[in-house]
Amino acid sequence: MSYLDKTIIEINKALKEGKTTPKELFEQSIERAKKYQNKYNSFVTITDKYEEKEYNFNNKLAGIPCAIKDNFSTKGIRTTGSSNILDNYVPVFDATAVKKLKENQINIVGKTVLDELAMGGTGTTGYTGVVKNPYDITRQAGGSSGGSAAAVASGIVPFALGSDTGDSVRKPASLCGLVGFKPTWGRISRFGLFPFAPSLDHVAYFTRSVEDSAVILESLAGQDYNDYTSSNKKVEKYYENLNKDLKGKKLVVIKEIIDSVYDNKVIACFNKSLDELEKCGAVIEYQSVDEKLLKAIYPTYMVISCAEATSNNANLDGIKFGNRQDGASIDEVMFNTRTKGFGEFIKRRFVLGSYALAKQNQEKLFLRAQKVRRLIVEKVNDLLKEYDAIVLPASGDVAPRFDSQSEKLSDNYLIAENHLAIANFAGLPSITIPMGKKEGLPIGINITGRLFDEQTTLNIAYALESKLGYKNMMGGNK
């Protein structure tokens, strides 16, 4: 037995009682990271350096090992974004989220694999190879924060940092049996997180319990003068205020999204979850949203995110930093650097984004997508005037196999596998937790709350987790 198999709250108790030490946890974590690297490929970099310090275990995060997605700047630790173009990039500063974790005496064990520059949902496009699902290595861990998900689900760390632009934490959380949380846009500073599409980007993270998720939010949230979009709203006592009593809470299920979920087991687990939520006192109702709007989520997301991505990644040219290629002129250097440095999937996205931003197309594509985004956000905010949260299956099925040939443009797929992006369009707090298993593989449920109402969102998840008992889940053989 290792205390690494426990939740943060439990580890903290063991640390206080002297049953384990931060050094022992760190060493066990590194040992597992190395041992599983061939199997799951969670890490780009494993950091061997441990520095002894005076720990204060009244802080629940003190001495806890954690992993960081490799698109957060870490001072002195190579940060690649899982892109060849940044293969040799060592940042000179820490992202605010990383800085805050360090202030809370967390120990970083490594940087995790992502889909290249966070643009993907499979965990297969990072330049150091494919991430595998700890529940079944013939399947995807999901993405883009796949390495972080696999590290937590395989018991290497009890918590890992990720980022979520469309669903990149909440979807892999579903596929790997984890709690994945993205709070309100602006709740956590994005300073030092590589921008993909800043109007949609969120700092997010994986844990194996809702309590742990609440503890981490307290340490990461807050205003930051390095990110002027970070909110000055007071940081609440999310952990202390966790409450399983949902009396008076009204939840809504979007009918057309449920109708698009094709897997019977997912539906059965979801219905059971709704029953449990009712037992906790919540009232659940179904409401309709125009199917046209729901089918528009994916194209709208692609146009906006690719447009922002092409502009935000223009700095990756090999001139100031990164993996520079030779060339006879500065133009040729940039051309060769980008040609060699980027993988084919993100090149396609840059083409798409540049096309949408081209003067002659802007009105028809980019501005139109902004308008559709607005319509979706208005519809969801209308629902949230009446309801405290939206509950839905996080995914239509379990983790796909690497060779799966799903029909990505079918109406069902478009809706069931892309609706999590609604919370990015609207900046809403949104959490995925496990709600069951199908043939041993995890299935997740998603809860999306009102702006800055992290507490209610966490409380609903907390109540449901305690009823269902899917807590501290791990896959694989440790």
119 makes contact with ligand GLN (CB under 6 A): yes
**β 159-163/132-133 pair status:** unpaired
Q: Which uninterrupted H or E stretch holds 29?
A: helix 22-40
Q: Is 305 a catalytic residue?
A: no
Is residue 317 a contact point for ligand GLN (CB under 6 A)? no
Position 118 contacts ligand GLN (CB under 6 A):
yes
**Among 29, 168, 230, 231, contact with ligand GLN (rule: CB under 6 A):** 168
Active site residue 288: no
Q: Which stretch binds ligand GLN (CB under 6 A): 38-46, 119-127, 283-291, 390-398?
A: 119-127
Does residue 121 interact with ligand GLN by CB under 6 A?
A: yes
**Whole-angstrom distance, CA of residue 180 vs CA of residue 206:** 5
- How many residues make contact with ligand GLN (CB under 6 A)? 12
Window contacting ligand GLN (CB under 6 A); options: 163-171, 173-181, 247-255, 457-465: 163-171
* 167 touches ligand GLN (CB under 6 A): yes
Q: Please, what sign has the CA dihedral across residues 326, 329, 331, 332?
A: negative
Q: Is 99 helix (H, G, I), strand (E, B) or coil?
A: helix
Only one of the segments 88-96, 159-167, 264-272, 365-373 lies at the binding site for ligand GLN (rule: CB under 6 A); that segment is: 159-167
Report the nearest approach of ligand GLN to the CB of residue 392 (Å): 17
Exposed (0-12), middle (13-18) or buried (19+): which is 288, by Cβ within 10 Å?
exposed
Reduced to 3 states (helix: H, G, I; strand: E, B; else coil), residue 6 is coil
- Find the part of the chain contacting ligand GLN (CB under 6 A) among 46-54, 161-169, 405-413, 470-478: 161-169
**Alpha-carbon radius of gyration of the chain:** 21
Single out the catalytic residue among 148, 168, 213, 219.
168
- How many helices (H) and strands (E) the chain has is answered by 16, 13
- Residue closer to ligand GLN by CB (options 120, 318) is 120
Instruction: Compose the 250-289 pattern: x for residues touching ligand GLN by CB under 6 A, - for all others.
Output: ----------------------------------------
CB-CB contact of 30 with 109 (8 Å): yes
- Going by their DSSP bridges, the two strands 179-182 and 203-207 should be labelled as antiparallel
144, 163, 231, 395: which is the annotated catalytic residue? 144
- Residue 163 near residue 196 (C-beta atoms within 8 A): yes
- End-to-end Cα spacing for the chain: 10
**Rounded to 5°, angle at Cα 83 from 80 and 89:** 30
Q: How far apart are CA 110 and CA 102, in angstroms?
A: 13
**C-beta closer to ligand GLN: residue 16 or 348:** 348
- Token code pair at residue 116: 């290249």
Q: Is 149 in the site for ligand GLN (CB under 6 A)?
A: no
Site string for ligand GLN, 190-209 (x = CB under 6 A): ------x-------------
Catalytic annotation present for 69? yes
Catalytic residue among 6, 29, 42, 69: 69
Cβ atoms of 445 and 464 within 8 Å: the answer is yes
If binding is defined by CB under 6 A, does position 417 make contact with ligand GLN? no
Q: How far is the CB of 86 from ligand GLN (least distance, A)?
A: 16
Q: Does 212 bind ligand GLN (CB under 6 A)?
A: no
The residues in 373-412 that bind ligand GLN, with binding defined as CB under 6 A, are none
Stretch that binds ligand GLN, among 33-41, 162-170, 207-215, 367-375 (CB under 6 A): 162-170
Query: Nearest Cα to 183, choosing from 12, 430, 460, 418?
Result: 430
Smallest distance from ligand GLN to CB 170, Å: 9
One-letter amino acid at 418 equals N
Which one of 114-122, 250-258, 331-339, 363-371 is the stretch in contact with ligand GLN (CB under 6 A)?
114-122
Using CB under 6 A as the binding rule, whether residue 96 contacts ligand GLN is answered as: no
Q: State which of residues 65, 91, 110, 120 lies at the interface with ligand GLN (CB under 6 A).
A: 120
Distances (CA, A) of 62 to 52, 356, 464: 12, 46, 28
Of 164, 308, 397, 454, which one interacts with ligand GLN (CB under 6 A)? 164
Q: Which residues are the active-site residues?
A: 69, 144, 168
Q: Which residues bind ligand GLN (CB under 6 A)?
A: 118-121, 144, 164-168, 196, 305
